Structure 1
Amino acid sequence: MSAPDAKKIAEAEALLGQVDSAADEYTKAGMYFKAATAYRNAKSLDKSKDCFLKAIDCYMNNKSWFHAAKSCEQIVLLAKETETLAEVEEYANKACNLYQQHGSPEAAAASMDKAAKMTEPKHPELALEFYKRALAVVLIGDSTHQAAEFASKVSRILVKLKKFEEASKALKKEISLNLQTKSYGQVGRLVVALVLVQLALDDFVDAKKTFKKWGNRCDPQEVKTLETLLQAFDEEDPELAAKMLASPFIRHMDVEYALLSKNIPLPSGVQLEKEGISSAGSLK
């Protein structure tokens, strides 16, 4: 053990030695929290977790919900280091509950956002659940702008996971939220994204309905792109459809939708691939 680690261990043990003489539960919780931090800095993660758990119990006994939530978030960080996914889920949700109990919806949503960002690279399904809960929390608080941000994250992960039915519903919700905040510039891009998802579902009828309903919120480039794309599907013209799906406008959309555009079945049933046009009329 290095000298700095030994010093931190000694610091933690000294704090634990004072716990029994603490004046009240809140003071005791603070000692456990500081000891947990010292153990974590010394890379003694099991002892750190044990102290954070004791801090949570003491904070909850004192009805200090906000500080109990903060301690739960520290366990989430420990679980990330040890790659204990079940504990990330358990204590992130517990932190969210405690922040809500304290009356801090912003902190509750932020705890879900942090947990989602932490898990998204390796576990997008879990991140999706965190983003969904964050969205639900801010909707309770009637924070429409923030809700639109979380709705966007939900939509993108659903597309990434190829859950297109859910993605279609999520994008409609996202459009609705952006209309409420009068974010009309964002709505146009979302209409394009929704049409792409509906085409991925092979639902040309709904794609046309989407354009008819919200096309007036699109800018001229978006209108031209969608009109030509839908025309290509209506006329079963795979070459024109491939050309539009490969257009710079679509390929420069958010990465999830740009990738989706490469895998939409063409009107002829030929699958869109990565680059170039083959003799079969599909991109290669």
Structure 2
Amino acid sequence: MSALDAKKIAEAEALMGQVDSAPDEYAKAGMYFKAATAYRLAKSSDKSKDCFLKAIDCYENNKSWFHAAKSYEQIILLAKENGTLSEVEEYANRACSLYQQHGSPEAAAAALDKAAKMTESKHPELALEFYKRALAVVLIGDATHQASEFASKVSRILVKLKRYEEASKALKKEISLNLQTKSYGQVGRLVVALVLVQLAYGDLADAKKTFKKWGNRCEHQEVSTLQKLLQAFDDGDQELAAKVLASPFIRHMDVEYALLSKNISMPQCIQNGI
């Protein structure tokens, strides 16, 4: 054990020895929190987590919902440091609920966003649920701009997971949110993304409906790209479809959609003109 670790453990134990003399629950929670932080710096994770949980009990007894939620976020950071990401789901959701109880939807959504970013690479399905809940939280507060950001994250993970029909619904929601905020510059690219997703699961009819409904929101290059692509699928022209899907415009889209374009193939029935 290093000298610094020993110093921090001594500091934590001294605080724990003073807890019973604390004047109230709030003061007791503060001592537990400081002890937890000291244990964490000393890399004594189990003791740190135990102290944070005791601090949370005290904060909740004192109805200090915000501070209790902050303590849960500290446990989440411990889980990240220890590689025990399986614990993140429970504590992130608890933090979110407490922030909402306190009346802080922004903090609730931010906690879920952090948890999603922490888990996305190894547990994308879990990150997806965090982003979905964050979207629901900000929509309750009518924060439409922030909602469109979370909707984008939901759509992209669904595409990454190849859950294309769900991604189609998510993209429609994302388009609707961007229209509400008059973020018209985003809509055209989203329409292209939606058409790509619909073609990925073989629904040419729905892709045509998408273009008919929102094509007037697209820029010239977006319109041209979609017209050529949909015509190629309509005609069963595999060569033209491949050319459009490999175009610089498509390849320079957000990475999830650029990768998706490489995996879109024309159904055999369309190629044969059936």
For the aligned pair, the TM-score class normalised by the smaller chain equals over 0.9
* Cα drift, residue 220 of structure 1: 0.1
Tell me which residue corresponds to 1:69.
69
Matched, 1:144 2:144: yes
In structure 1, distance between residues paired with 2:39 and 2:85: 21
Tell me which residue corresponds to 1:200.
200
Matched, 1:17 2:7: no
Higher helix fraction (1 or 2): 2
In structure 1, distance between residues paired with 2:268 and 2:228: 16
Tell me which residue corresponds to 1:239.
239
Structure 1 runs not aligned, ≥5 long: 271-280
Tell me which residue corresponds to 1:8.
8
Tell me which residue corresponds to 1:250.
250
* Cα drift, residue 102 of structure 1: 0.3
Pairing 1:266-281 to 2, within 5 Å after superposition? 266-268=266-268
Pairing 1:51-200 to 2, within 5 Å after superposition? 51-200=51-200
Q: For 1:134, give the aligned amino acid.
A: A
Q: For 1:45, give the aligned amino acid.
A: S
Matched, 1:32 2:32: yes
Runs of 4+ in 1 over 3 A off after TM superposition: 267-270
Residues 202 and 267, structure 2, Cα contact 8 Å, conserved in 1:
no
Q: For 2:196, give the aligned amino acid.
A: L
Output the TM-score relative to the length of structure 1. 0.94
Tell me which residue corresponds to 1:263.
263
1:58-77 superposed Cα distances (whole Å, 9 cap, x missing partner): 00000000000000001111
* Cα drift, residue 265 of structure 1: 1.2
1:20-67 superposed Cα distances (whole Å, 9 cap, x missing partner): 000100000000000000000000000000000000000000000000
In structure 1, distance between residues paired with 2:269 and 2:42: 59
Residues 237 and 268, structure 1, Cα contact 8 Å, conserved in 2:
no
1:117-140 superposed Cα distances (whole Å, 9 cap, x missing partner): 000011100000000000000000
1:108-164 superposed Cα distances (whole Å, 9 cap, x missing partner): 000000000000011100000000000000000000000000000000000000000
In structure 1, distance between residues paired with 2:29 and 2:143: 33
Residues 195 and 211, structure 2, Cα contact 8 Å, conserved in 1:
yes
* Cα drift, residue 86 of structure 1: 2.9
Tell me which residue corresponds to 1:44.
44
- The aligned length equals 271
Q: For 2:238, give the aligned amino acid.
A: P
Output the TM-score relative to the length of structure 2. 0.97
- What root-mean-square deviation, in Å, do the aligned CA atoms of Structure 1 and Structure 2 show? 1.2
* Cα drift, residue 84 of structure 1: 2.1
Q: For 1:172, give the aligned amino acid.
A: K
